[in-house]
Structure 1
């Protein structure tokens, strides 16, 4: 009996130990590559850093440029195969005492026992060459561009999250054509700025430090106001005017952009509601909608509820989407359904920065958008015959499809006159007005009407 109890006891212990190892293996293994995942990399780095001498290691962040296009053109299965292929090549170059792992997306982290910039560049070049070695047996050459951010670990006691963030920041803040970027103190200042912006965000939302500016859209046929675009400006009581290029990409990355978009939208609704109460004429206002919203299948409910709360008539709010919202093949179907739902709820939909993406015309075929906004780059040199042909072609296509067209970034009389000749419907830009505060916009609108500039 005693032997049986001991046997059962040992069996139970063995079972739980095996079970624990299995759980640990799942928790620390990347299901796609079969190698280390992000959690395992962090744990391995912390173990390594505990006995690491300063200035002996480097942490590298690798980002595959244009990976989303691989998923788009060839499908997610091909994308997954690509990630497995790249990992298999990277791991061949990892020596004893070094670490490699895939991040949670299409990126990779390496920890190399190197501290010389030249040696690191050389090793990364060899890795990139090995990754692109498949071209030797391919009829059509395709080169992967691997963007590289490197942090030279001079303080092994630094928290692993900060170490990884510094490598990631070096990659994000790279300049020029060099794919290799090393972290330096100036980047730390940028990280500090981003930390401060994230910290200030909630308080600024509550105190309404984010202000709405309106930029008019003018109908060229009769020079009347046809609408406006709502743009956000952050005017902090201590920091002053914070540049949109400092906070918009940051909030896009961390998801705060969804909260900010909703804030802008509700402010626009409140403004239109005030005009209704004052019995003033209404005009459509477009608000920007980040692709981050499409992660929530029910995100339009909040917008619809606010529309009803403020009594906004149908057709007065237009959502502007960029072409980047349509890049992911799986997301495209979702976006298509969302546009249909927008129409059912009384919203319009515009495609912003139209023409700069790889499949602009395909989007017009597949998506029921109400408006396209031609990107400003088309109007930089309108004396170019090719540019004129492209612009007039887009205008003609939009007319035949029954889609409104807005020319963005119009700053000169020459641009406006040419667009008139092409029968462009609407223009937006500094030629008529810069973005204005709501009070300035009201004065501008009243002044222009009194002077009969639009009549």
Structure 2
């Protein structure tokens, strides 16, 4: 069984909840712990988007955005784009696809040209593309620069660098990506807030969106069938 877990996303401008980022979790047997799937390729696009559609039916009115993650292998599978286009037409909530820093489980590497082509398709379908975890894994400067015309948001993840980089280096990286987002008129999200001291980053860099355990931990979401 799979379900989405949700983590709240807050706007710094309005100081209000604007939406959620959704994470897939699986449960091998009823009653066992929910866990991160080892291989996302085991799930078909139809299965994931059906789950997303059934989950959206349970959300309260007033949310402006919902995002969920696709690795590179999933992102270039345009069945996701086709199904999401249909779903977007059925909901007022803006759907964001977050391209993660992970390649995926496939044997063939995804090319930058394939990623750009896919991002263009999502844009033409009226879907928003966010580059997740910029500066981490495969989501480095060259990829971000090349895909800029087809993306609307950059997200920097504090949890990826906390404890690995000194504070000054983290600030330098946040400043780099924040300024790049401003120049290109992209939304800038900062995630991974965990402590009171992290709030100083809001005043220093003025992210548009914030999220993290400090603001709310991921929690399991019901689907419409649960209420039947």
Contact 1:221 1:420 in 2 (8 A): no
User: Quick one: which of 201, 220, 225 aligns to 1:437?
Assistant: 220
Q: State how 1:33-182 maps to structure 2 within 5 Å.
A: none
Contact 1:218 1:225 in 2 (8 A): yes
Q: Match for residue 300 of structure 1?
A: 81
Deviation at 1:300, TM superposition (A): 2.2
Contact 2:191 2:210 in 1 (8 A): yes
SS for the counterpart of 1:240 is: coil
User: Quick one: which of 132, 137, 144 aligns to 1:364?
Assistant: 144
Q: Matches of 1:265 and 1:428 in 2, distance apart? A: 24
Q: Match for residue 291 of structure 1?
A: 72
Cα 1:292/1:242, change in 2 over 3 Å: same
Q: Match for residue 391 of structure 1?
A: 174
Within the alignment, does 1:350 sit opposite 2:130 as a pair? yes
Q: Residue deviations 1:413-453, cap 9 Å, x none? A: 111222322212221110011002236xxxxxxxxxxxxxx
Paired residues, what number?
216
Deviation at 1:392, TM superposition (A): 1.8
Q: Matches of 1:438 and 1:420 in 2, distance apart? A: 32
Structure number with greater Rg is 1
Q: Matches of 1:346 and 1:385 in 2, distance apart? A: 38
Q: Matches of 1:381 and 1:416 in 2, distance apart? A: 19
Deviation at 1:383, TM superposition (A): 6.8
Contact 2:76 2:118 in 1 (8 A): no
Within the alignment, does 1:401 sit opposite 2:181 as a pair? no
Higher relative contact order at CA 8 Å, sep ≥6: structure 1 or structure 2? 2
Within the alignment, does 1:410 sit opposite 2:193 as a pair? yes
Q: Matches of 1:383 and 1:221 in 2, distance apart? A: 29
User: Quick one: which of 293, 313, 316 aligns to 2:94?
Assistant: 316
Contact 1:379 1:415 in 2 (8 A): no
SS for the counterpart of 1:349 is: strand
Deviation at 1:287, TM superposition (A): 1.2
Q: Match for residue 266 of structure 1?
A: 50
SS for the counterpart of 1:317 is: strand
Q: State how 1:325-344 maps to structure 2 within 5 Å.
A: 325=103, 331-344=111-124
Contact 1:352 1:374 in 2 (8 A): yes
Contact 2:96 2:127 in 1 (8 A): yes
Cα 1:412/1:352, change in 2 over 3 Å: same
TM-score by length of 1: 0.43
RMSD, aligned CA = 2.9
TM-score by length of 2: 0.80
Deviation at 1:364, TM superposition (A): 2.4
Q: Matches of 1:227 and 1:295 in 2, distance apart? A: 25
Q: Matches of 1:236 and 1:329 in 2, distance apart? A: 29
Q: Match for residue 6 of structure 2?
A: 214
Contact 2:131 2:139 in 1 (8 A): no
Which protein has the bigger helix share?
Answer: 1
Q: Residue deviations 1:1-35, cap 9 Å, x none? A: xxxxxxxxxxxxxxxxxxxxxxxxxxxxxxxxxxx
Q: Match for residue 208 of structure 2?
A: 425
Deviation at 1:281, TM superposition (A): 1.4
